[in-house]
Structure 1
Amino acid sequence: MKKITHILKDNHQNIINIWEKEVLIHVDAAKLANKIALHDHIPNILDDIIDILERHDEIEWNIEDFKIAKIEANSLEHGRHRASSAEFTAEQIMHEYMIFHNVIIRVFNDNRIENKAVYHLLKCCIDKSMLKSIESFTKSIHEMQNKLIGTLAHDIRNPLSAARLGIEMLNLDTTPERVERVKKMTMSSVDKALNMVEGLLDSISVKAGEGMMLSFSEMNLFEDVQTVYEEAQEVYSEKIIFECEDENLNGVFDATAIRRLLENLLTNAVKYGKAEKPITLKVSKLDDQYLQLSVHNYGTPIPEDKQKEIFNFLRHSSETNKKDLQSWGIGLTLVKMVAEAHGGKVSLESSEDSGTEFTVTISRTMNEPGKHRTKLNFSQNS
């Protein structure tokens, strides 16, 4: 057995290189991934196989044997990663593993390994790893789909609530100017809810690496941002300050998505802010290419070690039970997705003294008008 593990160790990089070359030829989705993303956990799975061979001499096992369970962790991560990579399917993951298996067998053949039990053990390891990867991939796709649908369903309540409030206010004695403003707000809210229902239907067909369907158009974003502010003033009792020095916010945006982004940030600011302290919504131009939108509130700060985790679209199951992360809701995953779909990012500063501020940077020029489905980004650097 030591001879076999030495062969695999000596050929470790060669196995990975040959696998990569063949995967790029035969697996279509692999052509869209960069080299680091393509490798992800494959070298670790090979290390697991070597470790299993190295630790045990008894190799009359089957795929359910607890001795090959070590390979599960990296296999699960592989599947989760493929769910975040564009165009991968369960069939293409199986193809990856088939190529991986064949490359190792060729190394065994080149080194005249004739022990049938070793080939059997290798097959058990590959089958187990493939099974866990596809299981994780499938669960992750379902989780992404449920999160997108859940986010949309949750956010639809905001415009519908605003529209209902507007209708109720029209029954009250009020000035003609106020009636006109409330009618405008109500119509805007209904239109937004209809757009979101369309997005809800689009989310049912989510595939690996995909997020929401966004509809970009060339426009001035100022009116939409101002509408978010005016609706928030009507709905919430907290004082909200709106700062925007330049009303010329032209660019190519999905206005509905930007409004949802701001509404989620304002909702969290109201929920976690101090009622006696104002909330500030600020919009400014950074330069000819980028806009900056921020929402600030005073209140209990977000712990520094949690500030990146709350943006993660797919969290590990052990993390989803953390109430302090769950309590921020699924809206922040939408904030991150919308920012990145507009060629930008979201950042967070939070402390006891200065309060909590979410800052979103978006590009005015990156997108072309039309419908585009967003890509999921699982990086931690937002």
Structure 2
Amino acid sequence: MIAPTIGRDEQKRVAAVKKYQLLDTMPEEQYDNITSIVASICDAPIALITLIDNNRNFFKSRFGVDLTESPRDLSFCGHALNNPDEIMVVEDAREDERFKGNPVAEEFEIIFYAGAPLIDKNGYRLGTLCVYDHKKRSLTESQSDALKSMAKQVMLLFEQRYQNFKLKEARKRLKERNEELKDFAGIVSHDLKAPLSNIMMVTDLLKKTEKDLSEKSISYLESLKESSASLSRYIDGMLTFYKSDEMVSEEVDEVSYIDLVEDVIAMTVLNENVTVIYKPTEETTLHTNAIALEQILINLVTNAVKYSDKEKTVIEIYLEMDEENYHISVKDNGSGIAPDKIDQVFKLFYVASEQDRHGKKGTGIGLATVARLLEHMEGKISVTSELGKWTEFKITFPQNHS
């Protein structure tokens, strides 16, 4: 008997094996299906998917044998790692110097072996897809082709597993990053809102109590107050954005559509020149997340009011339902959105208009928050517009009957 030799790049090869996190894992159906198919195609009583680490041959899948591993220096597959051919075939192990007196071969009466190497994209041989038999024999050409093809399929499964691990790690890091940003937003809100409020209060106080202020000084105070208010709006918007996932819970609320719209109107429409029309006007109950939906409508209606350029602003809110989803549209007769900007409006910090009707620049957070909330609700949003005439947002989200 001759033990398999160890290659020069063994350390890198073993690292490549461990990368897939398959050693010492339980059997999995997708791999067991392959060994079962290969055993049938090759008319062999035993088929294995093997992975070879430093000193053993681990069987990720086994057909026809109860072993989970074997010593590397006694393995057929250890020799297959060093074989330059696409398949290593041993027709009669009893006549092969490498396997004469091999205790594993003798115990399991192994005479025939054929193994196709499992080769990763960097060329490292991780193990084999192999078959064994208790008699002297060979493989037909079609059996050889099938064994090679199925070995490639095993590697595809390995790669898919590795990519899934990378995706999970990326999601984990993203989640951690979002949590850090959320914590940061909370800290900023707490530590900056109070000083900003003080600045605005002091500017008002100075304007009222200091009678000798020049027009330029008053202008500076107004600018300071507006800058503080603008920063305060950004802080509020960012805090809402990063806490949007907390607004969407698994609990389902029964929401009166009429009460919801009336509440939104009361919170957003403070100008008698704004008219809100909504349908249906009869009592309708929605089964969804009340807090998230209210926040969505507040953002959409607020935008319609802020960016209207008409003397009389008209906002239409329509609800439709099918068997699975709610569809709500919010349409206004405002300034509209330019065609080259319409695909960007849901991006964080993107502002489609330079300023609102009061000359203030938006934060670019509101519509991004709407899109994020709907994503958590498994819904979606779209927008159509004609510049100078109207804009319509349509939201769709599932009916969540409890």
Interval containing the TM-score (normalised by the shorter chain) = 0.3 to 0.5
Provide the TM-score with structure 2 as the length reference: 0.38
Q: Identify the structure with the greater helix proportion.
A: 1
Provide the TM-score with structure 1 as the length reference: 0.40
> Greater RCO between the two (CA within 8 Å, min separation 6)?
1
Q: Identify the structure with the greater strand proportion.
A: 2
